Structure 1
Amino acid sequence: MANYRTLFLAKEIYSLPFEGELNNLYLRSKVYEIIHNEFYSLINTNKLPSSSSHEILLRKDDFEALHNTRNFIIENKKNLCIKELIKKASVNKNKLRYGFKELFNTTPGNLVFEVKMHEAKSLLEARELNITEISDAIGYKYVQSFSYAFKKYFGITPSEFIKSKKGTLSD
């Protein structure tokens, strides 16, 4: 499995979707992922699977589908439900969750959350929409829920973030 993960990470390095300093950061993170995967593989090659383990086997096409689904989440920046992601990946719910945990060290839901928070931050920085509009744009029904989630992720409320950027937006 580590060989497939390394192959896909190498493909991600080859595509380098960013420019400038973000590109350098992305490249470093992928190299660290490859190193982690290789060491993890070396450490765990001598371990026997436990009899209680119900490990899900990922095929080569599953790896590609999971990477495509991850890219879909990142590119679409919208509120996606697990059913949409299962359909996109063409795998069952258990394989989707297991694959995301194995390949990306996160869950599909957490990745959607992270993408939404970074999109909200970008929208706040652009100063074209107010907090209520941004909350709605990224799929929150209530501004309070959005503010709580933003603070949980970034450690600062959207209003505080705006003030820290020395801009003014009305709620």
Structure 2
Amino acid sequence: MQPSVHVDVHELPSLAGTEPVALLPRLTSLLQDGAAVKGDTLFPRGRGLRSRYVCRGAEGFQDCIRFPDDSWLIISDFPVARTVGQRYSGEDVVKFHVKLSGVTPIGLSTQEHMVLAGPAAFIISQPLGVEKWEFVLKDNQESSVTVIYRRSHLLAWFDEQCSPMSPRLRSIIGPESAKQAACAPVHLSPMIVAVARDLLQSPYQGTLRVIHAEAKARELSCMILNQLAQGATDQVCDVVLSHRDVERLHEAKDILARNIIDPPTIDLLSRRVALNQKKLRVGFKVVFGESTFDYCQRLRMERARELLDAGETSLVRISEAVGYAYPSSFSVAFKRYYGVLPKDVRGRGRSLTPRRARSG
């Protein structure tokens, strides 16, 4: 889930006077230059390159890997010593970006700016001729994975008879979106995090490293595309979230976290954060991967478990601490969530997993 990060774009260094660069030719040039460097056996020559960074005694790296179909994978894990910005010209590309940590403000000439702050996932479409600027902010650990495709390559994956695109997916990568930039948040599922970590911590070298990277990059892309495809069935496709909307959703999440005993209703919460109820309900699910009710219930049950682990023996006190008027109602809710009654786990240090996580 994406943390609430506020960045004043007017305080970022000016990029006036800098020329926009074309990313893919730049990456190709890096590989060609790197192929002449001897002694680095991490990748076969011309297939990948590792750039190494050192900041205040901490080491880091960025891998650039090119696949046979001219798609790219960029794996970054390095400390950011200073804020750096760059302008990029539009090349009609689509990026799948998973950021485990770090802060990257971006701006597209046809869309309001956004702040990509980890942990979070995004899909970014940059059409031909649409310029993008982005910064990496200092004093952060940039840990991210980005898969880059040409739009035409992605469109070839879909067939209107066998695998048609959902309306939400079409609005981002479809032919009719070729002139409209987009940056949409994607739910950061545990499986997406696991694939990103596999790429960041790959144990392989040489050709095996490239094969492993391509397999994981495809898997990551399929997960994100599948989310966007399924989004059409839950009213996500017709809700567009701006950077300001996402900030208000984080404000709503903070309000709920502070009021688990007596959480505000959707109507009251929507008025407090100045979002309409539909955008609040659907947007909360898109950004955080769970409904407002499920979020509050999870916090209540986790708090109850903490009290039980700490040795609290009174179900009355635990019930009151998590917003239940009657211990019997709390016990039913606890069993529904964890599969066991609270009296069966008090002080035993028993490992519990929510039923939903076990079944999913």
Q: TM-score range by the shorter chain?
A: 0.5 to 0.7
The Cα of 1:3 is off from its aligned counterpart by 7.6
| 8, 20, 32: which one aligns with 2:193 | 32
* Aligned match of 1:95: 279
Is 1:127 the equivalent of 2:311? yes
Higher strand share: 2
Report the counterpart of residue 244 of structure 2 in structure 1.
61
**What is the 5 A alignment of 1:130-145?**
130-145=314-329
The normalised TM-score by structure 1 is 0.66
Percent identical across equivalent pairs? 26
Q: Is the 8 A contact 1:151 1:158 kept in 2?
A: yes
Cα separation, partners in 2 of 1:113 and 1:43, compared to 1, 3 Å: closer
Question: Matches of 2:295 and 2:322 in 1, distance apart?
Answer: 14
User: Within 5 A, what are the aligned runs for 1:1-171?
Assistant: 7-10=116-119, 29=190, 32=193, 39-42=222-225, 55-74=238-257, 76-81=259-264, 82-128=266-312, 130-162=314-346, 164-165=348-349
Letter in 2 for 1:73: L
Checking the alignment, whether the CA contact within 8 Å between 1:66 and 1:96 is kept in structure 2 is yes
Distance 2:267 2:98 in 1: 24
Q: After TM superposition, give the deviation of residue 33 of structure 1 in Å.
A: 8.4
Encode CA deviations 1:129-159: one digit per residue, 9 max, x unaligned: 6111110121111111100000111111110
CA distance in structure 2 between the partners assigned to 1:83 and 1:5 by the alignment: 33
Structure 2, unaligned runs of 5 or more: 1-94, 100-115, 121-139, 142-188, 197-218, 351-360
Letter in 1 for 2:193: Y
Query: 2:176 corresponds to which residue?
Result: none
Larger radius of gyration: 2
TM-score, reference length from structure 2: 0.34
Please provide the CA RMSD for this pair. Answer: 4.1
Partners of 2:309 and 2:346 within 8 A in 1: yes
Q: What SS does the aligned partner of 1:62 have?
A: helix
Aligned residues of 2:192 and 2:223 also touching (Cα < 8 A): no
Change (3 A) 1:144 1:53: closer
Whether the aligned pair in 2 keeps the contact of 1:73 and 1:115 (CA below 8 Å) is: no
Change (3 A) 1:54 1:10: closer
Work out the number of aligned pairs and report it.
Answer: 150
Structure 1 unaligned residues grouped into runs of 5+? 16-27, 167-171
Paired with 1:150 and 1:142, the residues of 2 have a C-alpha distance of 13
